[in-house]
């Protein structure tokens, strides 16, 4: 899914079918950061090799300290990352098959999780297509 350096993709709860690694890769690219840039911004707390392993789902539950560093660098919710990593349970009473609208622009459209993921993929495609090389 994430192949281009894009802007604000959103919080983890807006992309329920993405793995933690896929989500982090999409956010990093969205922020136009290289793996090495994240390593530098983290003060080498998160090595580029380790982040690559997370993004490629080789490491599926990095430590809360790593997640905290990434949340600060990407300016995203630590709670959402902790949810994605399986450290905390998803809050809210919505059933998995219940329709909802979590992306603000489409909140009134009561999107399914699959529709949300497809919208995010399309947005990424459009951003990648318009970027000068």
Residue-wise pLDDT for 32-71, tens only, equals 999 999 999 999 999 999 999 999 999 999 999 999 999 9
Given CA atoms 127, 128, 130, 131 in this order, what sign does their dihedral have? positive
DSSP state of 91: P
The predicted structure's pLDDT at residue 52: 97
The predicted structure's pLDDT at residue 133: 56
Phi, psi for residue 90 in degrees, rounded to 5: -60, 130
DSSP state of 16: T
Kind and range of the H or E run holding 10? none
What are the structural domains of the chain? 12-130 (1.10.260.40)
CA distance 132 to 119: 22
Q: Look up the pTM and report it.
A: 0.61
């Amino acid at each position: 899914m994430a192949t281009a350096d894009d802007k604000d993709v959103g919080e983890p709860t807006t992309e329920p079918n993405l793995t933690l690694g896929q989500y982090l890769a999409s956010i990093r690219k969205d922020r136009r950061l290289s793996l090495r840039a994240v390593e530098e911004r983290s003060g080498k707390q998160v090595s580029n090799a380790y982040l690559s392993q997370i993004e490629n789902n080789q490491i599926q539950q990095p430590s809360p300290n790593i997640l905290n560093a990434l949340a600060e660098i990407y300016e995203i919710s630590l709670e959402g990352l902790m949810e994605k990593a399986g450290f905390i349970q998803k809050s809210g009473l919505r059933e998995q098959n219940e329709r909802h609208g979590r992306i603000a622009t489409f909140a009134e459209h009561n999107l399914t999780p699959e529709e949300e993921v497809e919208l995010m993929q399309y947005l990424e495609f459009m951003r990648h297509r318009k970027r000068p090389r």
